[in-house]
Structure 1
Amino acid sequence: MPPRLTAVTQGHRVTTLELFFDLVFVYAITQTVQLMSDRLDLLGLGQGVMVVAVLWWSWCSYAWLGTTVRADEGLARFAMLGAMAVMFLVALAIPEAFGDFPGGLHAPLLFASCYLLVRVLHLAAYLGAAREDAALRSVVLRSTAPGLCGALILAGAAFTTGGVQLALWVVALLIDYVGVRAAGARGWQVPAPAHFAERFGLIVIVALGESIVAIGVGIGTLPISWPVVLTAVCGLVLAASMWWVYFDVVAKLAERRLAAATGLERVRLATDSYTYLHLPLITGIVLVALGMKKALLYVADRDHHGPAEALHGLPLWALAGGLALYLVTLSALRRRNQGTWNVQRLVVAGLLLAGAPLLELVPAAVLVVVVTGVMVGLISFERVRFGERRRTMLTAGQ
């Protein structure tokens, strides 16, 4: 290991610089929710999901770097701070990522250029970390090439619009995501599984924080009434329930499974459970944030929405569908780590999707109460039905 880089060892925990780095993504997620909120159609939804995928891949790159070398020491510190500055520019450009506003810089090209620079900084830092490790250096080069190619396609997409532009984004990200998968696990290292799992748990907290921010943003400067208070509290309970179903058991067992694995098996688990399966998890949270933002607006804005007006269209499906996606992904995480599906969560996800048309018939405030009640009911059922199994599973490794 070069003297200006410090290798991560067993027992390493998340550094304050990594926490500081995550703050940029708080703003980026807020910008993404606003992007979808400003264009409530399938194209706008697709654009938002693509931005989430870009943000996720950028964040994951540095999460993996921080599990190889200490992020707060030597050259890695400057790479993290440099990437943080560039990602802030990416976040600033999100509202114009698919359509440049008159005047100023060409924002779609700025977005793509900054994403390319983020990947280049990551490559430089990782090559420094791998200077004495041929296997790591080889896999870094193999996995970075598709990312650079994808970033160049995004740059080309900056000069297109509409469906063609979105299709180019899809192609670029598929090349990046599939390319990393095709590069294989050999060469990657996860020397501190607790640190790795903690990093991903913290980014889930960041995303859940955005769902709470969306409640306040949805209200804005509108007057607070009792329906607003009730809906806002229910929104907070909904966010807390999403925290519960992830951190109460799933996160702990995933970390334990990762720590028990060794070598290539650990790397494959880290890639599957965290790098790939946490993407739909974060996407689900972002969609819920979009739905909550619009629901609170309907409840608070009495000049444009009546007290009995229902949330409809894309915001409703974002709320119900995002929550369903979140639950399905949690079940998939259990399948990857324990070999079985979480049936009750799949059932609840199906009920949310099947019941979405009926939820268009109730006032927005009632919708939030119902969805929150479903999540609280799921947690209560699991605590009663599987309480003993939960205690056994959580104490088995102690």
Structure 2
Amino acid sequence: MVATGDDHKVTPAELFFDLVFVYAITQVTALMAAAPSPARVVGAMVVLALLWWCWCCFAWLGNVVRADSGALFAVLVSVMAVVFIVSLAVPEVFADAPGGLPAPLLFVLCYAAVRALHLVSYWVSSPGDPALRVTLRRTALVSVLPPLVPLVAGATLASGRVQILLWLGAVLIDYAGIYVTGSSGWRVNSPGHFAERHGLIVIIALGESIVAMGVGVGEFPLTVAVLGASAAGLLLSAGLWRLYFRRLGEESEHKLGSLDGDDRTRFARDVYTFLHLPLVAGVVLCALGMKKVLQQVADTGHYGLAEPLHGVVAWSLTGGVGVYLLGAAAITWRTDGRPSVALLAGGVCCVAAGAAVTLVPALVALVLLALAVATAVALDGRGAARTEHAEASA
């Protein structure tokens, strides 16, 4: 394995690796869309959290050893194969279809294989780093092995809400275990590479939201209403994109580069590993809402243009954006030490606006949401500019 330097950039091998997660995120949206309900949405977010952990493991590893070297590239291809199997199992993780292999157990076994490959690869890559090897042993004992108990129990002994609760407990144990193990031993060699990797996964999630809209109208004729809804959905995605790449991404990368040692590792863990998950989850939730809006607007045989969204789908449209904005506010708080009032207010309002979505036509709700996001992004940008000007003057 070839070590990286502080000028390391994202390699084509890592872009190739990300392709399998494009399909995985699409499957999570499909899992919710097949039978929308609060329990199914929570279950889908649990599945997304597990997939996110699989991706993060190798984002960290690819920052310390080159992903396009022989040994690690072979590992990446192996992980791609396993994650592809995981993605195929996603639609049946909470409702296993008769015949074939048991999808929930297959999902758990493949997840365990990814985590094992990650630890072994890290171990092989650091023969002269005793601090990292101590952390790897602690991670295996605290963060990897304990969650497997509720995961296996949920896959083999439970179903429905009980299975979701067991898997949610596994996720909480896993994520809490990372804090218990601490930051000693982990390394972030190249801040630019680390920030770029996470920017790419945000792009993947936003791209999936656009794909979801296209899938929603794939079987219906084009109409003026469909074109208008598509434009509104694209505007909404563009607002989320601009917030990340013109506000969050640049400031976070600059802050990461200004730190070193364990301070850099803790910041990378908090902002990228933990607080980027709400960004991706928010986009996936919003994608469900946008997909249903496009379906209702296009399917004039079953819905009228005045038909609103209903149930958890109505909440997912605004709630997904709210989760994204709250995650963005947390990132700015961790980065600058100051909360963004515009992002906090916008996030809370969007999360609470699910009931209001059921009172207006679906197309109108999507248009208003896109305009609201554009306004929140503009206000946050002006606030950040005023703060920078005041600091420069002082």
TM-score calculated relative to the size of structure 2: 0.96
Residue in structure 2 matching 1:126, options 98, 122, 127:
122
Match in the other structure for 2:52: 56
The percentage of counterpart residues that share the same residue type is 44
Match for residue 324 of structure 1? 322
Aligned to 1:10: 6
1:286 match:
284
Give the alignment of 1:92-107 within 5 angstroms: 92-107=88-103
> SS in structure 1 opposite 2:327?
helix
Aligned to 1:314: 312
Q: Does the 8 Å contact 1:201/1:251 carry over to 2?
A: yes
2:273 maps to 275
The 1-side partners of 2:49 and 2:17 are apart by 18
Q: Secondary structure at the match of 1:82?
A: helix
Aligned to 1:366: 364
Aligned pair 1:147/2:165, yes or no?
A: no
When residues 292 and 192 of structure 1 are mapped into structure 2, their CA distance, relative to the original with a 3 A threshold, is same
Distance 1:7 1:234, change over 3 A: same
Q: Which amino acid aligns with 1:11?
A: D
The CA deviation at 1:383 is 4.7
Give the paired residue count: 391
How far is 1:384 from its partner?
A: 5.0
Q: In the alignment, is residue 231 of structure 1 matched against residue 229 of structure 2?
A: yes
**Offset at residue 293 of structure 1 (A):** 0.8
* Cα distance between partner residues in 2 of 1:74 and 1:138: 26
> Does the Cα contact within 8 Å between 2:319 and 2:353 map onto a contact in 1?
no
- Opposite residue 113 of structure 1, the aligned amino acid is L
Q: Residues 1-398 of structure 1 correspond to what in structure 2 (within 5 A)? A: 5-145=1-141, 146-159=143-156, 160-383=158-381, 386-387=384-385, 389=387
The Cα of 1:391 is off from its aligned counterpart by: 7.8
Question: Which whole-Å deviations, capped at 9, do the CAs of 1:229-253 have from their partners, x for residues lacking one?
Answer: 0000110110011000111021101
Q: Is the 8 A contact 2:22 2:205 kept in 1?
A: yes
How far is the alpha carbon of 1:390 from its aligned partner? 6.0
Matched position secondary structure for 2:20: helix
Q: Determine the C-alpha separation between the residues in 2 that align with 1:247 and 1:389.
A: 19
The residue type equivalent to 1:294 in the other structure is K
Letter in 2 for 1:131: P
| CA gap 1:152/1:379 in 2 versus in 1, 3 angstroms | same
The C-alpha deviation readout for 1:268-297, integer Å capped at 9, x for no partner, is 000001011111111111101111111111
Deviates more, 1:225-234 or 1:138-147: 138-147
Confirm or deny: 8 A CA contact 1:97 1:107 kept in the other structure: yes
Deviation at 1:74?
2.7
Q: Deviations over 1:198-249 (max 9, x none)?
A: 1111101001111111110111211111000000011011001100011102
Where in structure 2 are there 5+ consecutive unaligned residues? none
Q: Within 2, Cα distance between the matches of 1:384 and 1:271?
A: 28
Q: TM-score, normalised by structure 1?
A: 0.95
- Quick check: 2:36–2:312 contact (8 Å CA) kept in 1? yes
Find the aligned partners of 1:391 and 1:12 in 2 and give their Cα distance: 32
1:355: Cα distance to partner? 3.5
Q: Tell me: CA distance 1:149–1:384, structure 2 relative to 1, closer, same or farther (3 Å).
A: closer
* AA at the equivalent of 2:330: A
For 1:162, the aligned partner's letter is: G
Compared with structure 1, are the counterparts of its residues 362 and 47 closer, same or farther at alpha carbon in structure 2 (3 Å cutoff)? Answer: same
Amino acid of the structure 2 residue aligned with 1:181: Y
CA contact (8 A) 2:326 2:348 kept: no
- Which blocks of at least 5 consecutive residues in structure 1 are unaligned? none
